[in-house]
Each structure stands twice: as C-alpha cells, then as structure tokens.
C-alpha cells in the first residue's frame, strides 16, 4: 500500500477491530505503547524521578506521558484527550430470558445508541469479568468475536405501519438478542461464560459485558475514500492520539513540554465515574509526575498554567441526504482535514486562543483544517473538553475528524483524515 494515509488507516482499523470494549481498547493502547518503549506504572506504588515513557491504567481508562532527562518540574503539559468507550448494548446482571422457544439476553442501552443500527447484525460479546482469587477478586478480559447473537427485525408483513410511521423500537421489549433455542435444558449466560474462560461458573463474581458488531473495519468507495467501522467514535481519535505520542517520543531527543495522552472511559454517559474525565484521575497523575521529579505543588500549578489540552472526538460531516440539518456556512467534508469545534455556550471548550494554537499546528503540519458549529436551532452535543477544562483549569480546544452515522453500530469517516489529524497532533506535542 503506497499511499501513507491508507497504510496508516489500515493500522487504525486493526486497532479498532481488536478493541470491542473500553478494556480491550486499553489493552490495544498498552501494546502500542509497549512497542514504543513505554512502561506501566501502578498507582499504588511510589514513583521515582527517572525520565522515560510511562503509562497508567485504571479500568477502561489509560494515561501515558513522557519525561525527558532533566525535565523542568514546572514544564507545562501538552495533553491529547480522547475516550475509549462507545455507545452499545450491555448485559444486565441477570441476563437470561426465555421466550417463544428462544434463549435471549437482557441488555441495557449504554449511551446514545442508534437502536435501529443494531438490528439484523452478527453480534459478538466482550468485556471484563471479576473472578474468585486467593486474595480477593481478580480481573480477566474475554472476547468472543464471532456471530453469537442477533436482534431480528419484525417482518414488514407484521408491521405494516412502518412505511408511514417509521421503525419504532422499545429499549426493554425489542432489543433483547437471540442466541439459542430453548427446550428447558440449555445453559444460560453464566455457564457459557465459564466454558468460554475455562472456569467454574461459581467462581465468576461479576462482569461488565457488552455486545459488538463482528464485521471487521474496511475501506470502501471508488478509490477507498472512506472507512466503515464500528466505534470510530471514539477509537479513531484514540488511535490518532496514541500514534502521535509514540511517533514524537521515538523521533525526538527532547521536547520542551511534557507530552501526555489520556483515554477516558464513560464519556458517552457523562464522564461521572472513578475513571471518567470528571474524576481526579488525570489531575492526580499529572501532579504525581511533577512531585516525582522533585517539584512542589506550586510547580504543579505553574505547569498547569503553561499547558494545553486538545480534546479529540468525532464531528458531524455534512450528510448529503440531510444537508438541511447542518449550518449552511459551516459544512464539513471528508478528507479535508481535522475539525475545530466551537460552541458559544461552551458545549465545546474551544476559545479563540486555543483555536488559533491548533490552527497554527495544522499549518506547521501542512494539513488542511475546518471549523464547525451546530445549527443554532439544534441542541449541541459535548465531550471531555469542557469537563477537563473545568476540572483542571486547562486551556482547551475541541477538535476531531468528520464522520457520518455517529453512534451507529457502524460508522463512516474519511480514509485520509486520521493521517491528517495525527500530523497536526504531533505538532501540538512539539509546541514550545
């Protein structure tokens, strides 16, 4: 593959396919970081002042950073923030349902799911499991990346009104996937999970289990212009941030500022968790990195005042079938570069200063960029940018790549844009 952008997006697609849950996304991120020389730290351990490349994991979140030899304890941070979770369907604690001769699984809707996009797809299961250990629970990941489940749509002959009123789905009644026929002797989810993990089901204490589309990510279009994949929101951004950090770390002897990547879980449900953007996770780790270098709390606050956070999430490309849903002066197009997202009511944290700094990073990287606002008569979404800015007082800009079908089980973005975005993010990390 001679086109560097397509070669890059092929790596991104592999990352996405390997990451059906936030916990697997952190595993994939850790593998990328380890290959670039990063080492894992445990939060409960004492940290030494040694320079190097480090990362910490907490649940479905990960924070990575690089300290250069002799790094000033007051050096500011250049933070690339994204999120590891995506809207999906998650299993209930008692998932087994038996109806009309079928064994089904009860699910809760996680985040703002486009329910219709999960109908008639080949679905697998993934997540994490807490199992009995000698000193308490221990965690295992599981991934069944094969067609196990399906949510069949009702035939049109039994739903004649769909032509006039459209498809209407009830989260409780209509979204339970089918995965077996029942005669009363079949095993339930817990027994299946025990077999999958080669464990006694009695040793399984709890789980965070979720459904995913098993179709691999792929390029499409007459000239491979597009990427079709699950979880582009927001694993596209996560991969670009990680790629920028590892490339800069391996290619630079010393950076003026401390480069950081943070991938937060639970953005799709408001970030209010122990591992979300509203938690102390990022601030605590940044402060500890200052203290480990012999700095003080005063040095930490000086470093924050000299910092920039780039919050990276996906943006709404102008849909050719629904162009009227977009602001006419702010159309967004695929493969024309990253988007700077602006909202007067601070649903995005971008301000003129931070917009200008990211715009200059794009110019230094020689990549195009676009600016976007939501139509004034439509509600605007948000992301980790305002949460991080409010939590730490960081200068922040919200950016991302344009896409279609946000929050669908399968989304679309441009095949050139991840390469453009990563080049701009590398320039952010090099900013003095």
3-state secondary structure 136-185: EEEEEEEEEEEEEEECCCCCHHHCCCHHHHCCCCCCCCCCCCEEEECCCC
pLDDT of residue 1: 45
Domain 4-86+230-430 falls under CATH 3.40.630.10: yes
Give the domain ranges of the chain.
Answer: 4-86+230-430, 88-213
CATH topology match: 4-86+230-430 vs 88-213: no
pTM: 0.96
- Give per-residue pLDDT as tens, 84-120: 999 999 999 999 999 999 999 999 999 999 999 999 9
- Give per-residue pLDDT as tens, 359-409: 999 999 999 999 999 999 998 999 999 999 999 999 999 999 999 999 999
- Which of 397, 67, 422, 70 is CA-nearest to residue 257? 67
Non-local CB neighbours of 22 within 8 Å, separated by 6+ positions: 59, 60, 61, 84, 85, 265
**For the structural domain made of 88-213, what CATH number should be given?**
2.30.250.10
Q: What is the largest CA-CA distance in the chain?
A: 72
- Give per-residue pLDDT as tens, 106-159: 999 999 999 999 999 999 999 999 999 888 999 999 999 999 999 999 999 998
H-type alpha helices, 262-351: 281-292, 297-305
- Which of 22, 53, 25 is CA-nearest to residue 40? 53
- Give per-residue pLDDT as tens, 252-278: 767 889 999 999 999 999 999 999 999
Q: Which helix (H) or strand (E) holds 9?
A: helix 4-17
């Amino acid at each position: 593959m001679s086109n560097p952008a397509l070669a890059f997006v092929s790596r991104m697609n592999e990352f996405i396919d390997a990451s059906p849950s936030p916990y697997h996304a952190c595993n994939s991120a850790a593998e990328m970081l380890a290959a670039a020389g990063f080492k894992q730290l445990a939060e409960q351990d004492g940290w030494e002042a040694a320079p190097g490349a480090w990362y910490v994991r907490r649940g479905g979140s990960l924070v990575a950073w690089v300290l250069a030899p002799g790094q000033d304890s007051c050096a500011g941070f250049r933070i690339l923030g994204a999120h590891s979770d995506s809207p999906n369907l998650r299993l209930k604690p008692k998932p087994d349902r038996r109806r009309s001769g079928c064994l089904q699984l009860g699910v809760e809707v996680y985040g703002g799911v486009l329910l219709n996009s999960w109908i008639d797809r080949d679905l697998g299961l993934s997540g994490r499991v807490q199992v009995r250990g000698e000193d308490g629970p221990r965690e295992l990941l599981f991934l069944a990346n094969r067609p196990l489940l399906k949510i069949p749509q009702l035939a049109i002959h039994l739903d004649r009104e769909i032509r006039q009123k459209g498809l209407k789905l009830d989260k409780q009644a209509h979204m339970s996937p089918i995965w077996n026929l029942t005669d009363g002797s079949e095993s339930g989810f817990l027994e299946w999970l025990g077999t999958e993990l080669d464990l006694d089901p009695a040793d399984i204490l709890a789980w965070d289990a979720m459904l995913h589309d098993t179709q691999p990510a792929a390029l499409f279009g007459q000239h491979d212009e597009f990427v079709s994949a699950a979880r582009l929101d927001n694993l596209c951004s996560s991969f670009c941030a990680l790629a920028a950090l590892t490339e800069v770390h391996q290619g630079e002897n010393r950076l003026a500022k401390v480069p950081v990547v943070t991938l937060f879980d639970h953005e799709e449900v408001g970030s209010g968790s122990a591992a979300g953007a509203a938690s102390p996770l990022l601030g605590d780790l940044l402060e500890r990195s200052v203290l480990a270098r012999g700095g003080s709390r005063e040095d930490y606050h000086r470093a924050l005042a000299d910092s920039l956070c780039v919050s990276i999430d996906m943006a709404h490309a102008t849909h050719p079938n629904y162009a009227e849903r977009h602001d006419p002066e702010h159309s967004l197009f695929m493969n024309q570069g990253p988007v700077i997202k602006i909202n007067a009511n601070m649903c995005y944290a971008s301000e003129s200063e931070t917009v200008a700094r990211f715009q200059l990073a794009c110019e230094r990287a020689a990549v195009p960029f676009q600016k976007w606002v939501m139509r004034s008569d439509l509600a605007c979404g948000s992301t980790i940018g305002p949460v991080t800015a409010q939590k730490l007082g960081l200068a922040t800009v919200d950016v991302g790549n344009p896409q279609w079908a946000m929050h669908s089980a399968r989304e679309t973005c441009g095949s050139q844009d991840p390469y453009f975005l990563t080049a701009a993010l590398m320039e952010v990390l090099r900013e003095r």
